[in-house]
Structure 1
Amino acid sequence: MRDTGLDGTDLRILDVLQREGRISNADLAERVHLSPSACHRRVARLEADGVILDYAAMLSPRAVGRPATVFVEITLSGQSDEVLDAFEREVATIPDVLECHLMAGTADYLLKVVARDTEDFARIHRRHLARLPGVAQMHSSFALRTVFKTSALPLG
């Protein structure tokens, strides 16, 4: 592992928190073999240093009516800062877009979009995606099934 300034205890704390974000400080301290006060100080430092960005609840897409996941590859008409900035500004306003990645390869951007169904994706496409500035080409692929999903980063 690169020198990140994180020691083994920090990594154990991060590993547990990634998988069990609602764990109490007392339980976390016990799991990583620290006193509760020392554990709390470490977690606060990891938050202050920007290692821990935030805490969130992971929702079931099906339970909230967004079971369809669509990956959209977008190629822009140009690569100028103005074109990239305009695209990124606008795509960030679309609530159905969960992720947007600037890519190296065949597409300029890869979006992860959630929808109720194919008709809902058609609405998202018409009202939002097709109106994004600088778009030359767009290719959409529907995920048939999520085989594996995690938000936990490898720490080893």
Structure 2
Amino acid sequence: MLTPRDLAILDILQRDSDTPLADIGAKVHLSPSACSRRIAHLRENGYIRRNVAMIDRARVGLPTTVFVTVSARTHSAGWTEQFRHAVAQIPEIVEVVRLTGSIDYLLRVVLPSVDDYDRVYKALVARIEMNTVNASIVMETVKAAETLPLG
């Protein structure tokens, strides 16, 4: 069970995982060593899965996002496994979620440019038969939260 103090620590770490223990402790009224023990406990219990660096996509040449909707050809276990394998083999597909409704999957694809989408599309359709595939190019990101609403 998470305490309010645990939630406060998680909130600080999700905003900046490089925050010094002394600063975290001051904000949650704990000593740095007590903070360290709490963070270790949160890690051991799976609340903190890993620490990552947030990369500026534009600066590394990947400014374009395309959302792709997929309707499955069939809903068999074999097709689903083949689809999972197919998307795993294409690094530009950075996220895949299964949905309810008329669309089965939503893919988030990150690319250098819109022109590169055709290459990803061809790689995907070469690996798996799908009923329909539709793409939407992101024109502007209005909101992209990097933190969870823990408060």
TM-score norm. by structure 1 comes to 0.92
| 2-structure distance, mates of 1:132, 1:41 | 47
SS at match of 1:85: helix
**CA shift for structure 1 position 151:** 2.2
Deviations 1:13-71 (A, max 9, x none): 01111111211122111121111111101111111111111111111111010111000
Which residues of structure 1 form unaligned runs of 5+?
none
Q: Is the 8 A contact 2:86 2:124 kept in 1?
A: no
| 2-structure distance, mates of 1:61, 1:55 | 18
- Identity, in percent, stands at 38
Which of 100, 115, 139 is matched with 1:144 structurally?
139
| 2-structure distance, mates of 1:113, 1:132 | 16
1:44 aligns with 2:40: yes
Equivalent position of 1:135 in the other structure: 130
Which of 110, 114, 119 is matched with 1:114 structurally?
110
**CA shift for structure 1 position 113:** 0.3
Equivalent position of 2:6 in the other structure: 10
Aligned residues: 151
Deviations 1:86-130 (A, max 9, x none): 11122122110111001112211100001111211111112x222
**CA shift for structure 1 position 131:** 2.1
TM-score norm. by structure 2 comes to 0.95
| 1-structure distance, mates of 2:127, 2:8 | 42
Q: Which amino acid aligns with 1:42?
A: R
